[in-house]
């Protein structure tokens, strides 16, 4: 029997088809690629965006390996709908790669040539240039190459993930009179992918040669007495998401380090070859790597566009880069005063990268140097291999402070750096813990305990982003400094949970995943929806990187149907269809792609005069809600709440330069300035990031 209570707690199902997550990820990369097309973007930055898309696609294939592993199965083992979806996804991925290379060959390279910068192919080189390249090959390249002729005693060599290689078809006989037809040449990663020609061979231009063209021009030198026939460069992408059964290992750090050894040789998921590669060679490679034909990408250019970033460093032209941006010191802080004393007067918000991460480092630096600070606790997710922050923690230990660091060893593609830091910190006496088995610790928190007279006061830093000074200058994030005793007590309890896994008291202010975050967000959405149903003005504005959690999306759809006006600022993957008549009429989705990577998470709820705003480390994805340790915390100071509303939400909703809107059909359209009613001319375009940059530069000047 269904009770009245169960009816209240069981939400009605939402009849909708969610958008495909992987398609949404590819659409995001298409929006990023648009920056490489924009003529108002400096030339080298356009090249950088092309490289960013290529890097993103590499990670897409490395992590979303199911794209091709399922296609490799017999058709009978696949659901017809799944097969159709996978084939559609493959088609979009191929189209995006083709678009990249068309942009590279037809737009960017001609633009560089017009400016006197050129990557010179073998056929375009003068006799003097060919002699120089020949000398470079003999001196710097050939000693590092060891071609492998394939036969029963010389099987196909191990090819590392994303490494550059050549496959060569040979005719004639080898030294033993045999007809070994296929050889593989592995190109060491230590070789530069682009080499600048000397000025005396370049005239007034800036000329480069690629390492692939250098090797290609001298393949015949690697096989004396043989005739080189068909050949091609190739690159294999492998599944690289580490899988470790945490329940079945005694030492997670050791298990992960062992897994890192094999990461470069995981299951193959994509094969890239030169556009003109002979079919007999591609057929051989596809068989070797056990890939279907759909996993083959024929490219008109280098098989690894990511390595074009070397050109950005080699071409010394500041005018082709974004004007340098010097982040201001956080305007709520005065550099000459104690950070602790300033936090005592009120909570501090730092909007990165418009304000400098130096404010966070100054907080930690003061804690390290202050003799009254007794203990420092911090979570580490991504901090990089060369970190000022980690050096400060090392100094804290040397000064006799109790330092506890929760290191997330499973931060994807940062595992090795985090393992190395964990070992270094343990060596000098830091208490290092690795969080909870089966969960990633993604929460960003730093807690300082300081003796003040006869009491110990805690100071805390919470953030939507990582403790990484490099990315802090490239990502938009919000840092929050407080000595609010309820919040700092909550943080202390969360650290206790991560260290000893015992039950902790009910938290005062923080909302913790995987325990309460999803439920709390659902409760807030339901509360706003009930208000809207009663005719109370209601609003939800959410800013995050991804929205894929079905329960939360269902709740948003129901709230929209109840009359709640919902604006979603989702940078990347969004599975919730917007503006569908009769379903999501009140839901609008936009994506901002700018000079800086949008990374902050802000959740705003309004019902009449009742409003709440939370910052969080979590995107609205099922993994963040249920398989990670995440935090959300309220901003209760009205002035700070108004500042976040203005800078992180409303300004982005007004953007008409870097914004894209999600249409009812699942496609994104670039937002254009609206027409003015008075004279029918477009309004002044507004870029949220450009406006914030100007505001903070003005504050710095003052």
The Cα 220–Cα 60 span in angstroms is 36
Total residue count of the chain as it appears in this document: 702
Quick one: how far is CA 634 from the chain centroid? 26
Query: What is the 3-state secondary structure of 589-656?
Result: EEEECCCCEECCCEEEEEECCEEEEEEECCCECHHHHHCEEEEEEECCCHHHHHHHHHHHHHHHHCCC
- Pair 187, 302: CB distance under 8 Å: no
206-210 β-sheet, strand order: 117-119, 206-210, 194-196
Burial 504-532 (b: 16+ CB within 10 A, else e): beebebbbbbbebbbebbbebbebbbebb
Say which residue the tokens 């939800």 belong to.
540
Give CA angle at 235 (230, 238), nearest 5°: 140
Burial category of 261 from C-beta neighbours within 10 Å (exposed 0-12, middle 13-18, buried 19 and up)? exposed
Using alpha carbons, select from 104, 98, 191, 183 the residue that is nearest to residue 149: 183
The Cα 207–Cα 117 span in angstroms is 6
- Pair 539, 565: CB distance under 8 Å: yes
Using alpha carbons, select from 23, 85, 18 the residue that is nearest to residue 60: 23
Residues labelled catalytic: 442
DSSP 491-515: HHHHHHHHHH----PPPSS-EEETT
The Cα 623–Cα 550 span in angstroms is 11
Beta pairing class for 206-210 and 117-119 = parallel
The Cα 671–Cα 657 span in angstroms is 7
Residue 13: how many CB atoms within 10 A of its CB? Answer: 8
């Amino acid at each position: 029997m269904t009770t009245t209570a169960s009816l209240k707690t069981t939400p009605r199902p939402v009849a909708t088809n969610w958008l495909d997550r992987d398609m949404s990820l590819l659409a995001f990369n298409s929006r990023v690629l648009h920056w490489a097309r924009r003529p108002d973007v400096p030339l080298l930055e356009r090249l950088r965006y092309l490289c960013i898309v290529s890097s993103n696609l590499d990670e897409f294939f490395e992590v979303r390996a199911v794209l091709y592993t399922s296609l490799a199965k017999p058709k009978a083992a696949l659901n017809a709908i799944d097969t159709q979806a996978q084939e559609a996804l493959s088609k979009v991925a191929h189209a995006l790669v083709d678009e990249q290379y068309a942009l590279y060959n037809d737009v960017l390279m001609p633009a560089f040539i017009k400016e006197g910068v050129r990557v010179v192919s073998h056929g375009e080189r003068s006799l003097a240039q060919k002699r120089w390249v020949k000398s470079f090959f003999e001196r710097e390249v050939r000693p590092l190459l060891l071609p492998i002729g394939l036969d029963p005693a010389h099987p196909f060599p191990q090819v590392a993930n994303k490494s550059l290689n050549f496959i060569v078809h040979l005719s004639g006989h080898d030294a033993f009179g045999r007809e070994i037809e296929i050889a593989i040449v592995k190109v060491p990663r230590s070789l530069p992918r682009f080499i600048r020609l000397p000025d005396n061979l370049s005239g007034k231009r800036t000329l480069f040669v690629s390492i692939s063209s250098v090797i290609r021009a001298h393949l015949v030198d690697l096989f004396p007495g043989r005739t080189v026939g068909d050949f091609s460069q190739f690159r294999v992408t492998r599944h690289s998401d580490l899988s470790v059964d945490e329940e079945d290992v005694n030492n997670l750090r050791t298990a992960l380090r062992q897994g890192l050894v094999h990461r470069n040789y995981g299951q193959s998921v994509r094969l890239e070859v030169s556009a003109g590669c002979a079919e007999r060679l591609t057929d051989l490679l596809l068989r070797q790597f056990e890939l279907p034909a759909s996993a083959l990408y024929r490219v008109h250019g280098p098989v690894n566009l990511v390595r074009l970033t070397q050109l950005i460093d080699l071409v010394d032209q500041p005018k082709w880069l974004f004007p340098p941006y010097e982040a201001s010191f956080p305007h709520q802080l005065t550099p000459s005063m104690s950070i602790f004393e300033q936090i005592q007067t009120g909570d501090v918000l730092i909007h990165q990268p418009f304000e400098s991460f130096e404010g966070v480092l100054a907080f930690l630096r003061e804690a390290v140097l202050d003799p009254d600070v007794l203990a420092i606790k911090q979570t580490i997710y991504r901090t990089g291999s060369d970190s000022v922050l980690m050096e400060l923690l090392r100094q804290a230990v040397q000064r006799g402070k109790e330092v506890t660091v929760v290191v997330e060893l499973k931060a994807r593609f940062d595992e090795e750096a985090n393992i190395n830091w964990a070992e270094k910190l343990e060596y000098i006496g830091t208490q290092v813990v690795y969080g909870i088995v089966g969960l990633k610790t993604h929460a960003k928190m730093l807690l300082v305990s300081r003796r003040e007279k006869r009491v110990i006061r805690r100071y805390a830093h919470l953030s939507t982003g990582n403790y990484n000074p490099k990315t802090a200058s490239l990502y938009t994030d919000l840092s929050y400094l407080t000595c609010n005793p309820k919040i700092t007590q909550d943080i202390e309890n969360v650290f206790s949970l991560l260290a000893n896994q015992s039950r902790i008291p009910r938290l005062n202010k923080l909302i913790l995943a995987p325990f309460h975050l999803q439920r709390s967000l659902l409760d807030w959405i339901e509360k706003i929806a009930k208000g809207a149903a009663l005719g109370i003005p209601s609003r939800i504005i959410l800013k995050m990187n991804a929205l894929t959690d079905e329960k939360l999306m269902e709740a948003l759809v129901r709230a929209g149907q109840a009359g709640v006006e919902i604006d979603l600022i989702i940078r990347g993957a969004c599975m919730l269809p917007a503006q569908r008549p009769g379903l999501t009429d009140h839901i609008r989705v936009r994506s901002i792609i700018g000079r800086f990577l949008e990374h902050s998470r802000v959740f705003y709820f309004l019902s009449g005069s009742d409003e709440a705003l939370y910052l969080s480390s979590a995107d609205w994805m099922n993994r963040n809600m249920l398989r990670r340790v995440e935090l959300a915390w309220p901003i209760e100071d009205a002035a700070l709440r108004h500042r976040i509303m203005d800078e992180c939400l409303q300004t982005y909703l007004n953007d008409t330069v870097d914004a894209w809107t999600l249409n009812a059909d699942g496609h994104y359209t670039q937002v254009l300035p609206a027409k003015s009613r008075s004279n029918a001319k477009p309004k002044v375009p507004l870029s949220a990031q450009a406006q914030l940059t100007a505001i903070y530069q003005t504050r710095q000047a003052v």
